[in-house]
Amino acid sequence: MVCALRQHTTYHIRWLKADSAVSRQSLTAFFCKLYARAMALRHMLRRMDSARDVVWLQYANGVDLLLLALIRRWFPGTVFCTAHVGAEWFHLRTSILRRIAVILLSNADRVFCLSAAQHHAFGTADTRFVRIPTLLPDWVNGLDATAQRHQSGLVFFGRVDSRKGIYDMLHAFALVLEQHPGLRMDIAGTGPDEAAARRLADALHLSAHLTWHGSLSEPDLLRLIERRKVLVYPSCADAYPLAVLEAIALGLDVVLCDIPAAAEIVHTYGGWLVPVGNVRQLALAMCHAHSNAPRIRCDIEISEFQWPQVARLYAEHIEAAYEAAAQA
């Protein structure tokens, strides 16, 4: 997503979707689509005012780094980039690849990192790389994680995708049911692997203990989450999982895979960490979380993730960009 923000009483936003995901399509189709998106991007950038506009790239994979280089070539004005990648992404798995990513990210005037773990993964002292917390939705305002709720059972909510650990979670749940045959689990969300995950659940004979909710409205999702005791979110690829922060805000315990973003959350707020891909350890953590008092802290200060604070930080950088452009 590329946004152009104009400096008026309110920001005027234009956007261009340039989907650079490689999975589930042939390379020929991918490059043809990417070329068309790049040309559309070029056309939009040429109509923009480099003295007043800001281009904002949402960086989610390695290909986006090439788009960033093209943006810098075609647009002389201010360029921002928000990184939605974790250290476990394929193009960041080695120090050499991370160094290349940092070099390409340096095409941006600001690179916004969503967590301290992500900022650390880039391994640069460049002041253009700054941490701005991810944004929690408005419904989190006023929630009391210490409030007494009748909470039981397990829940997963988010994108139903293999990278979110959906298959490992189902296998682990089958093991959990051997110890807790009356336990139930809810899955809310949709995604590219939903059909395959449903077939796996049927093959594991989980149907009597598992409820698939699909996509829920915000109020319905809130009502579902606050009735559950444990969020199981075994993702192996997240920059800073918003679903986990939402669950903690509602007082749920969390079971996560040991990736940098999840480790940062657990070390700060509590919860359970298990090795990526270890189904037995995942099942054991699910059993412990279900049977024991939550390991999360109940005095969490979540204000840094809420709109006034996050918006103020972004606004400071936008205003600084306009001032720098005015002085140039």
Q: pLDDT digits over 238-252, tens only?
A: 888 889 988 888 889
pLDDT band at 142 (very low <50, low <70, confident <90, very high): low
- Asked whether 102 and 122 are in contact (CB, 8 A), the reply is yes
Of 25-34, 55-64, 88-97, 115-124, which range is least confident? 25-34
Q: pLDDT digits over 243-280, tens only?
A: 998 888 888 999 999 999 899 999 988 999 999 999 99
Against a cut of 0.85, is the pTM above it?
no
Structure-token pair, residue 179 = 């110890």
Q: pLDDT digits over 69-126, tens only?
A: 999 999 998 899 999 888 777 778 888 988 999 999 999 999 999 888 888 888 888 8
Q: Does residue 6 have a pLDDT over 70?
A: no
Q: Does domain 138-302 have CATH number 3.40.50.2000?
A: yes
pLDDT band at 53 (very low <50, low <70, confident <90, very high): confident
Q: In the chain, at which residue ranges do the beta strands (DSSP E only) sit?
A: 2-5, 13-16, 54-59, 78-83, 110-113, 129-131, 154-157, 185-188, 210-214, 230-233, 253-257, 272-274
- Asked whether 162 and 193 are in contact (CB, 8 A), the reply is yes
Q: Does residue 144 have a pLDDT over 60?
A: no
Q: pLDDT digits over 100-110, tens only?
A: 999 999 999 99
- Asked whether 136 and 240 are in contact (CB, 8 A), the reply is no
pLDDT at 136: 75
- Asked whether 299 and 251 are in contact (CB, 8 A), the reply is no
Q: Does residue 12 have a pLDDT over 70?
A: no
Q: pLDDT digits over 153-179, tens only?
A: 999 999 999 999 999 999 999 999 999
pLDDT at 238: 87
Give buried/exposed letters for 150-184 (b at 16+ CB in 10 A, else e): ebebbbbbbebbbbbbbbbbbebbbbbbeeeeebb
Q: Where are the domains of the chain?
A: 2-135+306-327, 138-302
Tell me how far apart the alpha carbons of residues 237 and 62 are, in angstroms, rounded to a whole number: 14
pLDDT at 1: 31
3-state helix, strand, coil in the chain (%, to 5): 45, 15, 40
CATH of 2-135+306-327, one of 3.40.190.10, 3.90.850.10, 3.30.750.24, 3.40.50.2000: 3.40.50.2000
Report residue 264 CA to chain centroid gap: 14
Overall average pLDDT of the 181-196 stretch? 95
Say which residues have a Cβ less than 8 Å from residue 140's Cβ, sequence separation at least 6: 245, 246, 249, 302, 305, 306
Average pLDDT, the chain: 84
Of 7-11, 196-200, 224-228, which range is least confident? 7-11
Q: Does residue 298 have a pLDDT over 90?
A: no
pLDDT at 296: 79
Structure-token pair, residue 150 = 């009748």
Percent of the chain with pLDDT over 90: 41
